[in-house]
Each structure stands twice: as structure tokens, then as C-alpha cells.
């Protein structure tokens, strides 16, 4: 009750609103997206033993496919699902942004401010490019866990291509 009374007393600038809360949630998810994706991917990053077994890179005592590996896989799947849903939400926001902006939907623009505010209006989609780059970077070590030279080559490629596009579009 105290919060409701204070919300009505405070000026509209300081009142709680759903769009601003969704913006904060989006900002937190954006900041934690790459670490979440990387942790999700480590649950399946295994390396080979000479005796035809595989262990997790982060926990060498855990044999891949064993009963000790199951909770790690479940946690990794949950993180991967959450990361995927967040990325799909960002794609949805970038897809709908031009139409919502032309309609003058302040609620939508406030909710997705975390995705657009850093970039010029003509490159509103650049937040999705950055998220995708982070997702691909997180996927490289599990894709080729036993080939560090190939990992480095792929990482350089994944960093170079968006950088070249960024230099061409200059999104800031």
C-alpha cells in the first residue's frame, strides 16, 4: 500500500511503468547474453581421452554422457532456451521497430530502448548484429573443442566480418 501511495504522490517522471521495466530487463539480458550462451555451450564441450572416452573441458572428472553429466546438460539446455528466447525477442523487436516507430508507439520504443538507443536511426537493427556475433563467438569452442588453431581462426573471422560491416555502416 505504501508503494502505491508513493507512486501516486511522485511525479510522472519517477513513477513505475511496464515499458521502462521491460527496458531494464532487456538491458540486463543483453549484458548477460554472451556469458549465458557461453556457459550453456560449455555443458557440451567435451574433449577426447586416449581410451575412447570424453570428458567435459571445464570439469575433466565428469565423463560426457554419464549420470554426473546429466544435471550439467539440463542446466545448459535451460540457459540455451532462455538465451534463444531472448535473441528471438530481440529479432522481433528489430523487425517490428520501423512499423511501431511510424505508428508512434512510445510504449514499444520504451520497452525496446535497450536494443536501439546506441545506434543511428537508419541502422536500428545493429543490436541484433552484436547479439548474433556474441552467440557465434560462444558457439565456436564447443564446435571444434580439440582444434585450438581452428578456434582462433574462426574467432578472428567472426570478429573481422562484423568489424568490416561496421566500418561500412558506421552505426554510432
Q: Is the pLDDT of residue 86 over 90?
A: yes
Confidence of residue 43 (pLDDT cuts 50, 70, 90): confident
Asked whether residue 142 carries a pLDDT value surpassing 70, the answer given is yes
91, HSE (Cβ side, Cα atoms, 13 Å): 7
Tell me: the pLDDT tens digits for 10-27?
A: 666 667 778 888 888 998
Question: 165 falls in which pLDDT band (50, 70, 90)?
Answer: confident
**Contact (CB, 8 A) for 155 and 137:** yes
Decide if pLDDT at 5 tops 70.
no
11 or 169, which is more confident? Answer: 169
Q: What is the pLDDT of residue 95?
A: 93
pLDDT band at 75 (very low <50, low <70, confident <90, very high): very high
CA distances from residue 62 to 35, 36, 68 in whole angstroms, order as listed: 22, 21, 6
Q: What is the model's pLDDT at position 92?
A: 94
pLDDT exceeds cutoff 70 at 136: yes
- pTM more than 0.75: yes
d(CA 131, CA 24) in angstroms, rounded, equals 17
Question: What mean pLDDT, rounded, does the chain reach?
Answer: 86
Distance CA 120, CA 100 (A): 17
What is the spatial distance between Cα 73 and Cα 40, in angstroms, rounded to a whole number? 8
CA–CA distance, 143 with 140 (Å, rounded to integer): 5
Answer whether 95's CB lies under 8 Å from 82's CB: no
Q: pLDDT band at residue 162, thresholds of 50, 70 and 90?
A: confident
CA distances from residue 89 to 94, 123, 151, 166 in whole angstroms, order as listed: 9, 18, 29, 23
Amino acid at each position: 500500500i505504501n508503494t502505491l501511495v508513493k507512486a501516486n504522490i511522485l511525479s510522472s517522471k519517477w513513477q513505475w511503468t511496464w515499458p521502462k521495466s521491460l527496458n531494464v530487463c532487456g538491458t540486463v539480458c543483453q549484458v548477460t547474453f554472451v556469458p549465458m550462451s557461453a556457459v550453456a555451450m560449455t555443458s557440451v564441450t567435451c574433449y577426447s581421452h586416449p581410451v575412447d572416452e570424453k570428458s567435459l573441458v571445464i570439469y575433466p572428472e565428469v565423463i560426457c554422457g554419464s549420470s554426473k553429466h546429466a544435471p550439467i546438460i539440463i542446466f545448459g539446455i535451460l540457459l540455451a532456451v532462455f538465451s534463444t528466447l531472448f535473441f528471438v525477442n530481440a529479432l522481433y523487436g528489430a523487425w517490428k521497430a520501423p512499423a511501431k516507430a511510424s505508428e508512434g508507439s512510445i510504449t514499444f520504443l520504451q520497452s525496446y530502448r535497450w536494443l536501439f538507443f546506441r545506434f543511428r536511426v537508419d541502422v536500428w537493427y545493429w543490436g541484433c548484429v552484436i547479439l548474433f556475433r556474441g552467440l557465434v563467438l560462444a558457439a565456436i569452442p564447443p564446435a571444434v573443442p580439440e582444434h585450438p588453431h581452428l578456434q582462433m581462426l574462426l574467432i578472428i573471422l567472426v570478429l573481422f566480418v562484423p568489424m568490416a560491416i561496421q566500418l561500412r555502416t558506421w552505426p554510432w
